[in-house]
Structure 1
């Protein structure tokens, strides 16, 4: 294919043609026959920490997670976000977290969180008769208004933050003043319901961290049992605390592999995944249940040996591939071909339209743009996900997503991927805490098929520079995608993000924020 046609269509070179239709579409049935949805997430788990991906090179196995690869599809080019809050927001809200202002890690005491105007998958599934439950880590806001049970979930049991924030009150320098703790300290493990009841079951201490996933698992399985008995389709979002730092294991798990703390934790985590799959088998509902396994962001490697491993450049908190790529395994008997390996690009935002299509509403993205009522509320937003259901069913041979936007924690667009090509406008050296943003004179170009690990000598190697010069044509098509994305910002609701670093605050940033608000007001219908 010549360069002209590449500029026009960004030639489709993906290999993921193995997902074929094997049965009828369950979304056309009545509510009782709609597929159950079970989404299991780890935390900070890299692609290479699952043995289905690493083929045992790490020395331990995750047979239950691997089972999903054998009985479903394994995605090689699955994307989340660069850190916890952003990754979780992109999934449950179906919008890029740049829109929802949730690019930065949520902190205890902050008033920043999930906006009221943004529907969740659970809000939208309510129109289809689903029971909805979220169990485990939330990380989408500290206040009551941010709780899952105020955003479409019938029940929530879990913690609100990253584990190292939960244990801050036990550290040496943490203020002893009770008023400080009340204002800025982490809330306890909460159990809430949609009727407004909120129970604080106590703090998530280092000791409780050893067994908190057992508590989460018990509540989640109780939710499943109740809804199967009631013959009601359910959506379960099961969020493990493994493998976020710092890892505190119970005696039975510690030393299990003989390799290290992280492998021991992965084996424990895999056991819970196995228990979930066994529950579906025992209840006789596995054949009518979509199971998705993934995580929120790439591996955190700087905390090794209490940290993950990735062959990709970079890690959590950066906009290299190592910060964004995640494991993704999808099982849906009768729809997804067992043992399929998919190389097409997919992002966490894509699950909102895909799961709604599975429930019988394939046009949810367009409905939300025009205005849509769900769960007793009205929403009008720009969802950024694509419906992958036709692809999963084998009705198309290419996935609908062609682009990935790599926004940093502070809202800077560092890179874009369009099909095979990734263009870095800025790069990050270091990790989530020490990362320094570097802006080159000209953007860096990477072909993620020729160099998926971004290992090419990008500095001054003559071979790369010649190759780079031959591929400057990639800039213009990429700019078109960026303009299209940004053009939708003023037309729909937008929340300005927060930051853990105040160094970016200056007169120009305040003027830019004011200009954006004015543009937003002028562009809204009726203004």
Structure 2
């Protein structure tokens, strides 16, 4: 009898093992990074129907997780993506500005990406969309920790090259004699690549292929999710969608969907693509053990006729104005992140590297400066405050502003990306709670705050002595100076 009871107890224990393993399995990580999706576009951030299209799937995601109102990025596409992948301010990595076609650019292979960290912990890693961190094949994402990639190395502006003599949904036109010539500048291609294999050019990037790209991104990302979920393998799915980067053109299936023009149709597609990813997680049975982040790499577009909406903030990207630095950020992780939480605490995109490394059980490198701080306790509601109070804001290689708590110190004034950058003779201090549009400097009556803010920049510059920044265009192999 005792033997039978022992066997029953053992069988019961064995039946419990899979459930225990499932509870402690490494969480999957999904990052949906939209391109130049301004602060004021989504319904959860005051946009949605005000921009001509509701965003119900993303708004529901926000209701199920935490939404930040003070999530900060860098001023351009390449710097933000570099900061996400390395946890380092882009001024350190030589990736502080967008480089044009034909220029040496991208991350050196010395950098350790988030994909490399998680891959070493057994994660499957995939990226679909714009990389923008190296357009030579040696610096493609499949040489930087990703198992697979489908997308473009640089940016979407180049989709307009072959249409330079045509109007792009009301956009600018150029006479054909002055237009693009493939002999002068080769077209950009959409690539497909797998780790350890040569990348393959799939098709040219033009207006037609850009319109269809987000549908392809969603299709490939969902297949990756289902494949790895079925195999029981944890995964990092990095999904940098193309929308709403100019030219802001919706998929043909969405043209006319809202009746409010191309921009609203594109916003409707943004919401739909997010829904496709979320549905794939649920269908694959991994929704409960997946951390989902939805964010933007920059503020809204600044070029007519594709201008974005930045909510209450003034300015454009490629500046240090709040419209450039603040971007939407939503994070859902069932059972871990409190639902419906909204916070105005400062978080920077570099923090995602350190935080997600912690989630995946990886250690950040200790042989270099890592600027990201671990925000896991804050985002999961275990503490009320962010572990970050401020940061220096660079525009390209110019220290342009410093944020600290609810204060903003502008050192260089530039409201619009097309305006000249003017070094201010006296820094302008703004209270971002009472002056959202940064119009009334209160430096004189609050000089007490300036030394504290300048110390943030001082600490960063002091660290350059120990860890010298990498110069833009530095070739591989790179080794830091001893």
* Kept after mapping to 1: 8 A contact 2:191/2:201: yes
Where do 5+ consecutive residues of structure 2 fail to align? 1-19, 165-175, 474-479
Deviation, structure 1 residue 480: 1.5
Alignment of 1:1-400 (within 5 A): 33-54=25-46, 56-171=49-164, 172=176, 173-176=178-181, 178=183, 180-181=184-185, 185-305=186-306, 307-361=308-362, 364-365=363-364, 368-369=365-366, 380-400=367-387
In 2: Cα distance, 1:310 partner to 1:102 partner = 28
- Taking a change above 3 Å as real, the CA distance of residues 141 and 308 of structure 1, as seen in their structure-2 partners, is farther
**Structure 2 equivalent of residue 23 of structure 1:** none
In 2: Cα distance, 1:154 partner to 1:298 partner = 30
In 1: Cα distance, 2:91 partner to 2:398 partner = 9
Report the TM-score, using the length of structure 1 for normalisation: 0.81
In 1: Cα distance, 2:443 partner to 2:468 partner = 39
In 1: Cα distance, 2:52 partner to 2:161 partner = 33
In 1: Cα distance, 2:24 partner to 2:141 partner = 24
* Kept after mapping to 2: 8 A contact 1:149/1:156: yes
**Structure 2 equivalent of residue 416 of structure 1:** 402
Where do 5+ consecutive residues of structure 1 fail to align? 1-27, 370-379, 459-466, 499-519
Report the TM-score, using the length of structure 2 for normalisation: 0.88
May I ask how many residue pairs the two structures share in their alignment?
445
Deviation, structure 1 residue 175: 4.8
In 1: Cα distance, 2:260 partner to 2:237 partner = 33
* Kept after mapping to 2: 8 A contact 1:424/1:443: yes
In 2: Cα distance, 1:53 partner to 1:488 partner = 36
In 1: Cα distance, 2:346 partner to 2:285 partner = 33
SS in 1 for 2:259: coil
Deviation, structure 1 residue 301: 3.3
* Kept after mapping to 1: 8 A contact 2:249/2:263: no
Determine which of 457, 463, 474 is the counterpart of 1:482: 457
Q: Supply the RMSD in Å over aligned alpha carbons.
A: 2.1
- Taking a change above 3 Å as real, the CA distance of residues 199 and 32 of structure 1, as seen in their structure-2 partners, is farther
- Taking a change above 3 Å as real, the CA distance of residues 176 and 450 of structure 1, as seen in their structure-2 partners, is closer
| Residue 441 in structure 1 maps to residue 425 in structure 2 | yes
In 2: Cα distance, 1:208 partner to 1:52 partner = 30
SS in 2 for 1:444: strand
Alignment of 1:399-410 (within 5 A): 399-409=386-396
In 1: Cα distance, 2:439 partner to 2:282 partner = 43
Runs of 4+ in 1 over 6 A off after TM superposition: 28-32
Deviation, structure 1 residue 307: 3.6
Deviation, structure 1 residue 270: 0.8
SS in 2 for 1:99: helix
Deviation, structure 1 residue 224: 1.2
